[in-house]
Amino acid sequence: MQKFNFGIELEIPLLKNGIYLDFDNTSFEELQSIIDQLPEYPDDYNSLRIGDLGIKKKRWYIEEYERYDTNGNYTNCDVKGIEIRTPICSSIDTAIKTLQNDRHLLAQIAQQSDITLTAVGFNPFKHHFTPKPPLNDWEVAERSLSPEAISADIHMLTQGPDVSISLQGLTDQEVIDIGKKITYYSPFIAPFSYNSPFYKGELWGGYSVRSYIRNQKRPAVLVFLKDKANLLISNPTLTEAARIPSETGRIELKAIDSVANIQIYGALLALLKGLVLDTTLSERCIKPRGELHMIAAKQAFENNEIFQGSIQVVECAKRALGSDPDASRLDILEEILAQKITPAHSLIEAYQNNNDIITALQHNYQNTCVD
């Protein structure tokens, strides 16, 4: 029997007293006081990476932009929000239930500080992040070491998940090939999650500002390899060396937005599972197809190329899954295609009902959050 593993890391946007929390109005200490009240699960350490600074000790941790002095010593950080990550799970059902439970627990603790959770893929009010004070020489050199470090300012504006899958026994070359395949077809996968219709405090005119800006500069997919000798040089990065044993063979889909309905992530995990098993989709690419991502971000399923491509990937995944019970999770994606809607459609409608972004975020989250 083929052994799959699954995981989800989800960035959570936060609201407080009618304000969208970000790097300009929120401190590390304020959010860390919430993290401190959440439980720690020592068994998670077998599958979750803690990191050099020890910030990631729990399933919940602060997403931030680290600052260093001229000698490379950590000094402080600018915060973006809170991220939840599941441990490695042997089933999609376990991953989804774990994320739901952990999000619910975060909401309970955060509420004690008058902070509420929401879901949107891009900061609705800010369009750029500028480190203050400016980066010093050491930081400039450090942030030039990888394409993702160079574009970290974009990361501070976006909110989205890493939806990951691995299949035991794959070679590095097989993992790379799957990464190339999902990268090629990612413009047809991402629209199922589009949920960032705001830009600089107003409607943008499309469905995913996040995808429009991000998906040509940062990875659509990232795969983790056992042997550094097999790494590919690309911009953005497609391959990384596994930092801990549990990362080996991991395939992360990164091109999708933060949504309230976690069941959509369950459907996307099932889609990934089907695409791993699929042997019919032949196209591959190392770099995301930026222009097509931009078209998709603006038009979503209204564009016939995107619509037909999305139908194709769902059909191929469903065929590959066959009698696997996870195939039923694709029903959500088929419903989305039948209506040609994205999660952003309901967020746009909520905004048009009251002409206030914060109210729209609150109402839409309450109406679509499934815990």
In this predicted structure, what is the pLDDT of residue 55? 67
207 contacts 297 by C-beta, under 8 angstroms? yes
In this predicted structure, what is the pLDDT of residue 370? 61
In this predicted structure, what is the pLDDT of residue 54? 64
Can you tell me the distance from the alpha carbon of 121 to that of 351, in angstroms, rounded to the nearest whole number?
A: 15
Can you tell me the distance from the alpha carbon of 64 to that of 296, in angstroms, rounded to the nearest whole number?
A: 28
Instruction: Report the CATH number that the domain containing residue 145 is assigned in CATH.
Output: 3.30.590.20
Residue 226, judged by CB atoms within 10 A of its CB (0-12, 13-18, 19+), counts as: middle
Tens of pLDDT, residue by residue over 291-347, are 999 999 999 999 999 999 999 999 999 999 999 999 999 999 999 999 999 999 999
Tens of pLDDT, residue by residue over 203-220, are 999 999 999 999 888 999
In this predicted structure, what is the pLDDT of residue 222? 98
In this predicted structure, what is the pLDDT of residue 96? 98
Its pTM stands at: 0.96
Tens of pLDDT, residue by residue over 274-293, are 999 999 999 999 999 999 99
Name which residue leads in pLDDT, 47 or 120.
Answer: 120
Residue 268, judged by CB atoms within 10 A of its CB (0-12, 13-18, 19+), counts as: buried
Tens of pLDDT, residue by residue over 84-128, are 999 999 999 999 999 999 999 999 999 999 999 999 999 999 999
In this predicted structure, what is the pLDDT of residue 262? 96
Structural domain harbouring 25: 4-368
In this predicted structure, what is the pLDDT of residue 47? 72
The dihedrals phi and psi of 52, each to the nearest 5 degrees, come to -70, -35
Q: HSE, CB side, 13 Å, CA atoms: give it for residue 266.
A: 22
Name which residue leads in pLDDT, 52 or 181.
Answer: 181
- For helices 263-277 and 304-321, the axis angle rounded to 10 degrees is 70
Across the range 119-141, mean pLDDT stands at 95
Task: Tell me the average pLDDT of the chain.
Answer: 95
Tens of pLDDT, residue by residue over 249-262, are 999 999 999 999 99
Q: Which two tokens stand for residue 91?
A: 């089933």
Name which residue leads in pLDDT, 38 or 371.
Answer: 38
**Quick check: 226 pLDDT over 80?**
yes
Q: Which residues contact 51 (CB under 8 A, 6 or more apart)?
A: none
In this predicted structure, what is the pLDDT of residue 6? 98
73 pLDDT tier (thresholds 50, 70, 90): very high
In this predicted structure, what is the pLDDT of residue 174? 98
Domain count for the chain: 1
Across the range 239-248, mean pLDDT stands at 93
Tens of pLDDT, residue by residue over 162-192, are 999 999 999 999 999 999 999 999 999 999 9
Can you tell me the distance from the alpha carbon of 342 to that of 203, in angstroms, rounded to the nearest whole number?
A: 15
In this predicted structure, what is the pLDDT of residue 148? 81
